[in-house]
Chains A and B, each alone.
Chain A
Amino acid sequence: MDSFAMARPEPRRLSRRQFGILGTQLAGALVALALGIPIIGFLLSPLFRRQTYVERMVGDISSVPEREPTKFEVAFPQNAWPVPEVKQAVYVVKVNGQTRVLSNVCSHMQCPVRWETALRQFLCPCHGGLYDITGQNVGGPPPKPLPEYVHRIDGTTLYIENRFTEDI
């Protein structure tokens, strides 16, 4: 080929074969998008659902003895069907002049923690985690203290919200 032919490039023509390939790919991409966007959106939607925080009354805490964690059960609404409310356990502890409102959700694997009178500590039965009377993690694998509920005390009545002072 002589140099003059190089100066004028051939116009590119879409062959029938290439058109078929492109069309197939485009159709596939459209179907994938039409399916994918709703499905992925649906899977991820609970993460973006705004959590509504409500306050519930726990009860009269004047009869809770000093240094003796007492369990209360509080019902909170859940953001789903079929039961409108689900119960959570709350431990009210009066120690060193403070009143602490602790959840019994273990900071290790979220097993149900219970107060053991013989040990004078909170024990998680799953993996042997121990928390002292203020909820501080003192033994075993739990990496953080027991979560505390956001609460307010009106006279001798305790009210808590369905959220913790720190995210778990």
Chain B
Amino acid sequence: MSPLIAVVTPIFHLLATELPRTAPQGSNSVAARAAIGSLFSLHILIAGLISGAGEIGPAIEWLGYMRQRRRYDRLAHGLGRFITVYFSFSSFIAILLITVLLVGLWGHFWTTMVTIAWWPLFIEAWSFVLQVTLAYLWYYTWDPLRNFKGLHMAIGGLLAIASFIQVYMIDIVASYMLTPTNPNNPIRLALNPTSYPLTVHRTVGNLAYIGFAFGGFCAIKYLRARTAEDKAFYDWGGSFGLLWGVAMTLLQPVIGYSYAKEIQLHTYGSWYKMMRGTLSTVFLWQMTLLGVMFLVATFYFARRLRTDEARGAGLLKAMSVGMVLTTLLAAMPYHLAFTYDQVLAAGLNKPFWDGGLINPLGAMIPWKVLALMAYTLIAIAAVVWYLRGLPGVIWGTARRGEQRLLMLMTVLTMAMIVTMAYIRENGRAPDLIAGQMQIQGQQDVSQPHPSPAPASSP
């Protein structure tokens, strides 16, 4: 016993004296930011699917029960299997992030954040437990409860609620980092200016993402399917996923614009960086990507109807052309330099046809706003016309082109998610909590809110 104590005690003494006494002040190194950034992106790409599947799976099961069609049940069952298989991997990344990277590299920030947002993180942890319990319960009681569908669907409904609460709570933390308010008032903390926009944006986005994702998955499975029943099922699954994804994405322009408005009103510096500064080209890429997504969807609708000679294919092709024009309008840059400040510095603050560096047709207001409205209108018309033409479609006859479009859609959605994450985090940089804590050093550097634009900007 005493040789053991003789070996162990010096080790403990060494650990107690050499390890830092409080959380490290934080590293702003490229390696640290790259590690955290890429792991967070990977986490969101999978966790978004899991939350979305937890919300949409029970809805699809209910829809199948009301329509009395087995394929909905089969699809929901597949989503349940997806959750059970990938949940552990996603949580592994999340735990890795929090325990090793956030605590290890950005310890001071993380402990401050947990102190401020204690109750959202506490509720989130418990809803996480509830989510995993209900997900496994929902999947593994599928067969046993097949004669008690009501009870099974109730479990699914609870899973959807738990998934939503989990996203809502973590969004309180994430939105607080961008627009901090009074941390001592729980209502102000939960309803900070970007909390609702971010939560609504992410909830709708998760639902769209899972739709596009299983659409792409069904496309791959369709190309490998052997039996006619499988082909019909995967063909329908791809179409259904895309429909669902587009329908949810239709709501995003107004939510996203509202989110940007709150950012403009409450953390002007981040807004300026995104719209006029160093991130403005990335934002332009995001607007273009949104248009391309709607375009690919409209093109899929037109092609799928044409494959079976269903009515409405011609009109949808015309809508595709409209979507191309709208995307071109949205993709126009405003300042023909890297940032707007470069234009001002060169004194070329006039239209390019007057020798300047401004393209008035690229202005957010009103041209890009009109483009966003046009996206929404054309896309909703496309969805309605596709639904009207669906009775003429025979599932299982899709061609390879449609499947390629579905897979492209999944890739585009993932690119969109990573782009938006990049804009968000770098827009707020070098702050971790806007105006209060920077990445480097991570001491509290509370400042008054950044002031809005000088009078000279249009």
Contact = CB atoms under 8 A, between A and B. Distances in A.
Interface of A: 118-121, 128, 130, 132-134, 136, 138-139
B184 interface: no
Nearest to B265: A128
Contacts of B448: 118
A133 B261 CA distance: 23
Nearest to B451: A119
B40 to A, nearest CB: 31
B1 interface: no
B318 interface: no
A30 to B, nearest CB: 51
Interface string B437-458: 0000000000011011101010
Interface residues of B, number: 9
Contacts of A118: 448-449, 451
Contacts of A121: 452
Contact of A136 (B265, B449, B452, B455): B455
A83 B148 CA distance: 71
Given A118-B448, A138-B457, 17 more contacts: A118-B449, A118-B451, A119-B451, A119-B452, A120-B451, A121-B452, A128-B261, A128-B265, A130-B452, A132-B455, A133-B455, A134-B455, A136-B455, A138-B453, A138-B455, A139-B452, A139-B453
**Which of B265, B451, B455, B457 counts the most A-chain CB atoms under 10 A from its CB?**
B455
Contacts of A128: 261, 265
**Which of B261, B448, B452 counts the most A-chain CB atoms under 10 A from its CB?**
B452
A133 B453 CA distance: 13
Interface string B409-453: 000000000000000000000000000000000000000110111
A156 B449 CA distance: 38
B372 to A, nearest CB: 16
Overall SS of chain B's interface: loop
A133 B454 CA distance: 11
Interface string B253-285: 000000001000100000000000000000000
Contacts of B449: 118
Nearest to A118: B448
Q: Which 7 A-B pairs have the closest CB atoms?
A: A132-B455, A128-B265, A138-B455, A119-B452, A119-B451, A130-B452, A139-B452
B174 to A, nearest CB: 23
Nearest to B458: A138
A25 to B, nearest CB: 48
Nearest to A121: B452
B120 to A, nearest CB: 27
A146 to B, nearest CB: 13
Contacts of B261: 128
Nearest to B455: A132
Contacts of A132: 455
Interface of B: 261, 265, 448-449, 451-453, 455, 457
19 contacts: A118-B448, A118-B449, A118-B451, A119-B451, A119-B452, A120-B451, A121-B452, A128-B261, A128-B265, A130-B452, A132-B455, A133-B455, A134-B455, A136-B455, A138-B453, A138-B455, A138-B457, A139-B452, A139-B453
A139 B457 CA distance: 9
A92 B455 CA distance: 19
A121 B452 CA distance: 9
Nearest to B262: A128
Contacts of B452: 119, 121, 130, 139
Contacts of B457: 138
B59 to A, nearest CB: 35
Contacts of B453: 138-139
**Which of A128, A130, A132, A138 counts the most B-chain CB atoms under 10 A from its CB?**
A138
A119 B453 CA distance: 9
A138 B449 CA distance: 19
A121 B451 CA distance: 10
A132 B458 CA distance: 12
A150 B448 CA distance: 38
A100 B330 CA distance: 40
Contacts of A130: 452
Contacts of A138: 453, 455, 457
A41 to B, nearest CB: 41
A106 to B, nearest CB: 16
B288 to A, nearest CB: 26
**Which of A120, A133, A136 counts the most B-chain CB atoms under 10 A from its CB?**
A120
Nearest to A130: B452
A89 B451 CA distance: 26
A121 B265 CA distance: 13
A134 to B, nearest CB: 8
Nearest to A133: B455
A12 to B, nearest CB: 57
Nearest to B457: A138
B124 to A, nearest CB: 31
B364 to A, nearest CB: 13
Contacts of A133: 455
A136 B265 CA distance: 18
Nearest to B452: A119
Nearest to A128: B265
B271 to A, nearest CB: 11
A138 to B, nearest CB: 6
A120 B448 CA distance: 14
A154 B105 CA distance: 68
B267 to A, nearest CB: 14
Contacts of B455: 132-134, 136, 138
A44 B25 CA distance: 72
B340 to A, nearest CB: 15
A152 B453 CA distance: 33
A120 B452 CA distance: 9
